[in-house]
Structure 1
Amino acid sequence: MSSRFGTARVFLSALVIPLLLVLLSPAAVAGVVHGPVSETSRLQPVAPGMVLTSTEVREEPEGTTGRRQHFSTLSVDLGDGDGATIGYVDSGTVTGAAPLPQMVKPHDTAVAAVNGDYFDINLSSAPLGAAVRDGRVLKSPTGTHVNAATFASDGTGRIQPVRFTGSATLPSGSLRVDRLNSHEIPDDGVGAFTSDWGEQPRERATRDAERVTELEITDGVVRDIRDKPGRGDIDPSTTMLVGLDAAADRLEQVDEGDAVTVGYDLTDGGVRPRTAVGGRHVLLRDGRVTAPDDASRHPRTAIGFSAGGRRMYLMTADGRTARTPGATLREMAERMLRAGAADALELDGGGSSTLLAREPGATAPGVRNRTGGLFRAVPNGLVVLSPPGSGKVRGVWIRPRLQSRPPRGSALPRQADPYRVFSGLRRSLTATTHDEAFGPVRYPPRPESLRWSASSGTVSGGRDVRYTAGAPGAATVAARWGPMRGTVEVEVLPGPRRIAATPASLAFPDTSRSARFVLTGVAPDGSRAPIEPDDAVLDFDPGLVDVAPRADGTLRVEPRAERGTGEIAISVAGSEGRVRTAVPVRIGTAIEPVAEFDDAARWTASAARGEASVRPVPGRSGDGLALTYDFTRSQGTRAAYARPPAPIRLDRPAFSFGLWVRGDAQGAGTALTVVDAERSTHTLRGPEIDWTGWRKIEFPVPQGVAQPLTLTRLYAYETRAERAYRSELVFDDLTGVLAVEG
């Protein structure tokens, strides 16, 4: 069966009347900056004085399928009085973690936001550093986590260590207060907890103290004395004072009804900041790179300021997605320096990394960075607020429907640069009107009322606008609504010399799953551009699969047979006739052994915040692997790992793994670690071990993981602070549900 699809897309920058040109630099209005051959940056206005730059750095030569780094940088003017202001956001309490978009939602004038500090993950969720909102001190730094991004009353920002001071006046004299709303109190120290803390148990902060005393102080009078911290919400008129060991002895001398006052402050250079959020490593200081020279790449978040603090830079690096490795701290520092920052600070990264920014004409900021997961609940962040505009049409923003990066947490494959299009092929466009502040308009015109033109090629359609590329070279595409006109240059490539599908092959266990792939063309010089479904002719067996185009530029494949093999043949008009490729398809599974533990004596063990060892023992059939572990040494997340003598590489796609486990009923979680074909690491979660005796458990493999996989370890873990135990598990007969052989 042959089928032809036909959609098309192109990117256009904001269309702005001349009055608005003063709000952005010429480069920002142009919408694209070409750096070295290996790097491309594109700019988008967010609000007056704010520009979002998206930078892609190719790690391997053009024309290969190598990995690409992606940085998103929001530049914001500060301190002009009428423009942006920066606010601290959280979910209402220090320990009430929530996804960043949820925190930002109540702020009607929010145009951007970024996640904040590292935090006590899986436990209290309290941030590690300082926190100040509208001049109110919410939290002190914990331990050495003293670096913070602070904002003064004039709106300017800087990166500095902050200083917390506190004291309690007791009948016996003054006592130093070491922490405010912190999950950790130092030895022989005192912590104060207020209504800002939330309902989390305060006992987490006492750790291994032998003696603990908690005073409940309401309106300056001691109402209760306890030898164990409580939990639950604290009344706004009440402060809980918790002392450990020597400090507990001092507090124990206080009687109910005694007058006790508690005072504290947090300062940056002797002055309390209006806003503060903590961070970890200082990446830049006075224009010098001070970041650690680490080698690990992850999703990252950083904040920086220009010399003088009148311009802020919020930066994220994508990571943990297909062919997007993330960035090192030193790479983040160097990027910040190139952007214009003199000082910069590392904020929380990994799954916490989140940057929101409004698209012109949108009513709320949307996510602009990509990580391998959905939004993580975080304790705090910074929100960028900007005055609203008139709501009247003052410009048009046009972009491609096709986005090169899939949505956050999506398993969809990444696409090539949609700013490029092949001669004779198409791009689909979408347009949004905006006001003079790049915000939404009250009465947007109908899309079909826009008038389109192109210097080369043609533009057609009303609601579904399509640009068909003309001769190779630079083409200017324009759109007009009334007196407003905007343009952008599109790079038109010669017809493709070859085409490729990503992923290159598809495997299904049965008819219960579907999958998607994208098409990429390669020009004679190696340049790449996405090919949209409407420009492809497909040939496939409808009894085996069904293939349908999607609005996001992907092709969705649904298996129709329970078992079988075949291919999807694809052809596209190229520079020298039609070019072709094929996507092999396999439907059905086979269960194959992955590890039978006959080599258990050669496996090794390691641990995180605990101890672990492995040894061979009798299993269900032949040898099994015993994993002995100790999770009594920490309240943090603990793990005990078992590693094979060498990583186990599979030769076919895997849909799941099965493992026989002799349980201990302690409740530890189970997991496998695998590395995919693009060198990204994935954790496959199994059940918690709530049984004794032998039971087979399953580890599903998420869709979209680049196959085949390599197994590097299996392990048990514990995230609950209150759980402490030692035990032993036995593993046997690790199998994989693999695709049928082609």
Structure 2
Amino acid sequence: MLLRKRIIAPILLCVVLLVLFFGQSALTYARVAFTETPPGWPVILSEKQTLDQSLAAGVQVSSQTLSTSNGSQHVSLLDLDLSNPNVNLGVVQANDQIFSRSETVSSMANRTQAIAGINGDFFEINTTGAPINMLAINGEMWQSPAPRSQNANDLAVLGVDANKNLIIGHEQYNGTINVGTSSHALNAVNRYAFARSGGMLLATSRLGAMNVSGYTVALLKPINEARYTVTALETNLGTLAKLSDGQEALIGGGESGQWLQANLQVGSELEISQQITPDNDLQQAIGGGVQLIRDGEIPSSSELGNTTAANPLTAVGITQDGERAFLAVFDGREVGPDHSQGLTRQEMAGYLLSIGAYQALLFDGGGSSEMVARLPGQESVSVINTPSDGRERRVANSLLVYADQQAQRSAPSRYRQG
């Protein structure tokens, strides 16, 4: 009896220490194991765990090789307990600027002291480097949502509201400029293409320098959150330099430019009203492609689009209660029988559904697909998956994970964003 007590006491002590250090999630974390094949998948023949590591209370990183009847798949997964106050999600834009030469995920993670993360939105890879869809960071809208495409399921957004709730769905921007009794629609924030098509654009210091030849530019000084004073009205600028912090500008092409010239002059005061619907309180937002899972259901093939091509893919899913998030990266385009084949969008949706996702969003894939993590004891993040380019690709932005306390080391309390 005495021997039994001597054995049990150290075990109980270890359990108590685990709870104190890691929190409850260290004991309740469920390793992903497939009792049945995910929807839309070939038969899974075997599973091999290659990594299973707690990064912090509420943050688990794992990697698996899944052998199927159609070849192998390698997945890296971040499993987040969002009910744990230790866990925070943040969005980081490459080089803190919309027009950018892009930046690697590991660089964004290291400079903001994240413990893990994945690549984010699709972007203009051969031109400006700007993300395609919405971007909000720390309550500031860096770029308004993309207009809906012909595929109504495309161009969805992942958002985090003021209560740290995760939202996946479609967002819409509405803006209006009021000057006296005259008003005009404001089409977008920091979406340069709108000026090119004759629309009205609000530019901020987050955008970067741009060619404004042929456009009308009204430089603005904020009076308060919604009111501005016009400090300059330009019709013959070639290039608009990057705006300084706090400075904004209205840029109009075609009819929009004519309206600016007819209604504004230096010293004019105007009011701008803006709203994002249905979620106007997003503190963080990052755009993506199609919604892979909507209310627990996989959309039709026509809504998923490009359903037959197998590629490296990145996606995020959240559970119905909103207390758990899955950040998944599948490798692909590898050669050999034991190398990762890559997934179709249908297969990625099936995988996320099978591990508990109720909503899910596709991010940029191919050579952009990447996951990083700062393993316990490390000073910087490591690339967890195998990018198909053979190296890290510079991307537009990333979805990163922050923790007040990291396993086996102290970590920064919050991330910093310029």
- Measured against the shorter chain, the TM-score band is 0.7 to 0.9
Matched, 1:218 2:187: no
Q: Going by fraction, where is strand more abundant, 1 or 2?
A: 1
* Alignment map for 1:589-604 (pairs within 5 Å): none
What letter corresponds to residue 317 of structure 1 in structure 2?
A: F
Alpha-carbon distance change, 184 to 260 in structure 1, aligned in 2, over 3 angstroms? farther
Displacement, 1:299?
Answer: 1.1
> Of residues 404, 409, 413 in structure 2, which corresponds to 1:387?
404
> Of residues 182, 197, 200 in structure 1, which corresponds to 2:207?
197
Please list the CA deviations of residues 121-163 of structure 1 after superposition, one character each: whole Å capped at 9, or x if unmatched: 2111111111111111111122326520011122120201112
Displacement, 1:317?
Answer: 0.7
- Larger RCO, structure (CA 8 Å, separation 6 or more): 2
> Of residues 314, 326, 338 in structure 2, which corresponds to 1:313?
326
Matched, 1:154 2:163: yes
* CA–CA separation in structure 2 for the residues paired with 1:102 and 1:155: 25
* Alignment map for 1:240-639 (pairs within 5 Å): 240-261=249-270, 263-290=272-299, 291-292=304-305, 294-322=307-335, 323-373=339-389, 374-388=391-405, 437-440=406-409
Residue number in structure 2 paired with 1:585: none
* CA–CA separation in structure 2 for the residues paired with 1:218 and 1:127: 26
Alpha-carbon distance change, 268 to 313 in structure 1, aligned in 2, over 3 angstroms? farther
Alpha-carbon distance change, 308 to 366 in structure 1, aligned in 2, over 3 angstroms? same
Partners of 2:173 and 2:277 within 8 A in 1: no
Q: Name the larger-Rg structure.
A: 1
Displacement, 1:252?
Answer: 2.1
Q: What is the Cα-based RMSD across aligned positions, in Å?
A: 2.6
Partners of 1:171 and 1:259 within 8 A in 2: no
Partners of 1:164 and 1:264 within 8 A in 2: no
* CA–CA separation in structure 2 for the residues paired with 1:248 and 1:41: 59
Residue number in structure 1 paired with 2:25: 23
* CA–CA separation in structure 2 for the residues paired with 1:255 and 1:359: 56
Partners of 2:45 and 2:66 within 8 A in 1: no
Please list the CA deviations of residues 511-538 of structure 1 after superposition, one character each: whole Å capped at 9, or x if unmatched: xxxxxxxxxxxxxxxxxxxxxxxxxxxx
Please list the CA deviations of residues 569-602 of structure 1 after superposition, one character each: whole Å capped at 9, or x if unmatched: xxxxxxxxxxxxxxxxxxxxxxxxxxxxxxxxxx
Displacement, 1:254?
Answer: 3.9
Partners of 2:147 and 2:172 within 8 A in 1: no
* CA–CA separation in structure 2 for the residues paired with 1:32 and 1:41: 10
Displacement, 1:353?
Answer: 1.3
Residue number in structure 1 paired with 2:240: 231
Matched, 1:129 2:133: yes
Please list the CA deviations of residues 75-110 of structure 1 after superposition, one character each: whole Å capped at 9, or x if unmatched: 101144x220111112211222211111122233x2
What letter corresponds to residue 387 of structure 1 in structure 2?
A: D
Displacement, 1:264?
Answer: 4.8
The TM-score with structure 1 as length reference comes to: 0.46
Partners of 1:299 and 1:317 within 8 A in 2: yes
Displacement, 1:372?
Answer: 2.2
What letter corresponds to residue 207 of structure 2 in structure 1?
A: W
Matched, 1:104 2:109: yes
Alpha-carbon distance change, 326 to 32 in structure 1, aligned in 2, over 3 angstroms? closer
Partners of 2:49 and 2:62 within 8 A in 1: yes
The alignment partner of 1:185 has SS state of helix
* CA–CA separation in structure 1 for the residues paired with 2:45 and 2:27: 23
Alpha-carbon distance change, 39 to 190 in structure 1, aligned in 2, over 3 angstroms? same
Moved over 4 A (4+): 25-28, 31-36
Matched, 1:39 2:30: no
What letter corresponds to residue 101 of structure 1 in structure 2?
A: S
Please list the CA deviations of residues 434-467 of structure 1 after superposition, one character each: whole Å capped at 9, or x if unmatched: xxx423389xxxxxxxxxxxxxxxxxxxxxxxxx
Displacement, 1:32?
Answer: 8.7
The alignment partner of 1:381 has SS state of strand
Q: Going by fraction, where is helix more abundant, 1 or 2?
A: 2
What letter corresponds to residue 117 of structure 1 in structure 2?
A: D
The alignment partner of 1:303 has SS state of strand
Please list the CA deviations of residues 527-557 of structure 1 after superposition, one character each: whole Å capped at 9, or x if unmatched: xxxxxxxxxxxxxxxxxxxxxxxxxxxxxxx
How many residues are aligned here? 363
Displacement, 1:44?
Answer: 2.3
Structure 1 stretches of 5 or more lacking a match? Answer: 1-15, 61-65, 389-436, 443-742
Partners of 2:65 and 2:72 within 8 A in 1: yes
Residue number in structure 2 paired with 1:697: none
Select between 371-380 and 124-133 the one with higher mean Cα deviation: 371-380
* CA–CA separation in structure 1 for the residues paired with 2:260 and 2:55: 53
* CA–CA separation in structure 1 for the residues paired with 2:216 and 2:243: 17
The alignment partner of 1:344 has SS state of strand
The TM-score with structure 2 as length reference comes to: 0.79
* CA–CA separation in structure 2 for the residues paired with 1:45 and 1:52: 6
Identity in percent = 25
Structure 2 stretches of 5 or more lacking a match? Answer: 1-12, 36-43, 149-153, 223-228, 412-418
Residue number in structure 2 paired with 1:114: 118
The alignment partner of 2:310 has SS state of coil
